[in-house]
Structures are given as C-alpha cells and as structure tokens.
C-alpha cells in the first residue's frame, strides 16, 4: 500500500511538469516599431531574433527563435476597402470560422487561433480609426506541445500590439 501511495504522489508531482514543460523564460522585453507605418509591439528580444527577414504579409518584420520552432511576424496593411474586423475575416480567412480553436472579434480588433499538424497559429489584427486607416497585425506560430510554455508570452505580445501614436 505504501508503494502505491508513494507512486501516486510521485505521479501527481511529476505528471504536470512533463505535460506542461518549462515556461518560455523572458528577461529582455523590447519594443519593435515598424519605421514605415509605426505599428509597435512588445517582443521578447532574448527569445526571438530579428534576423528572420521581412514579413510574408504586408509591411513588417519576421522574428524567429534560435531553433526555428517559433516565428513571430509583425506587419501592417493599408485598410483601403475600410474593412471591419468581421468583414476582414469574412473576406480573407481560409479556415471556416466554426473550425477555429479560438476567436474573439470586437469592433476594433480580432484575435484567432487554430492548430494544424501540431503547430499553433495565432493572429491578432487591430484596426485603426485614424485618417490613415491601417490594419496592424501579429502572427505567431509555435509547436502545439509547447502551448503552456508560450501562453504568457503570446498574451503579452498580443495585448501590446498598437499603432504608433503620433503627437
């Protein structure tokens, strides 16, 4: 009986550690500012390198982890047809919305997430209401088995996304 109890305690103590894995440890948060459009976002400079090249979408930058498993893209799109977050998704989303793992749509932004082939794809776009209508976006891609490790990082990056406020 004693071995059973000790085994159960050991399983309870070790299982969460194995299931969750370590959190992504960030010591150096920096602010990236797109020089052309002013989109800015906090990013973990000690986790992502800016040497990932230009964003595949819009005008912006791609960041990569040293092992290449996670990618962050920060980019800006002109909002010439005056999309709302809802109409932008309706026109551009290639996955049916009812198949998304997560979605939040407000009058000023959307945030969506999906999992494909073991990779989490997270996207957030903010829609400015200025005289120069822009869509400021981030896309994050990272392994699904590292979800819990990335949760806090993704949250901070997502919440920090904003257009540059010019005085």
Which pTM value belongs to this model? 0.82
DSSP per residue, 79-137:
-TT---HHHHHHHH--S-GGG-SEEEE-SSEEEEEEEETTEEEEEEEEE--SSS-EEEE
Short-list 152, 160, 149, CA closest to 69: 149
Q: Give first-to-last CA distance, the chain, whole Å.
A: 71
The pair of three-digit structure tokens given for residue 121, joined into one six-digit string: 């794809």
Per-residue pLDDT tens digits for 1-46:
444 333 333 333 333 333 355 678 889 999 999 888 889 999 999 9
Residue 108 and residue 85 in contact, taking contact as beta carbons nearer than 8 Å: yes
pLDDT in tens, 109-126: 999 999 999 999 999 999
Architecture of the domain whose range is 25-160: 3-Layer(aba) Sandwich (3.40)
């Amino acid at each position: 009986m004693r071995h059973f109890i000790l085994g159960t305690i050991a399983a309870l103590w070790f299982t969460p550690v194995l299931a969750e894995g370590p959190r992504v440890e960030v010591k150096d948060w920096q602010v990236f500012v797109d020089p052309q459009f002013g989109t800015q976002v906090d990013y973990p400079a000690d986790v992502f390198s800016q040497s990932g090249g230009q964003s595949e979408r819009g005008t912006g930058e791609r960041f990569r982890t040293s092992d290449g498993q996670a990618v962050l893209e920060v980019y800006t799109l002109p909002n010439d047809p005056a999309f709302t977050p809802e109409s932008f998704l309706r026109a551009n989303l290639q996955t049916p919305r009812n198949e998304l793992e997560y979605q939040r749509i407000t009058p000023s932004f959307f945030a969506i997430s999906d999992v494909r082939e073991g990779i989490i794809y997270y996207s957030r776009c903010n829609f400015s209401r200025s005289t120069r209508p822009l869509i400021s976006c981030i896309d994050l891609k990272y392994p699904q088995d590292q979800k819990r490790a990335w949760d806090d990082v993704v949250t901070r990056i997502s919440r920090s996304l904003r257009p540059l406020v010019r005085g």
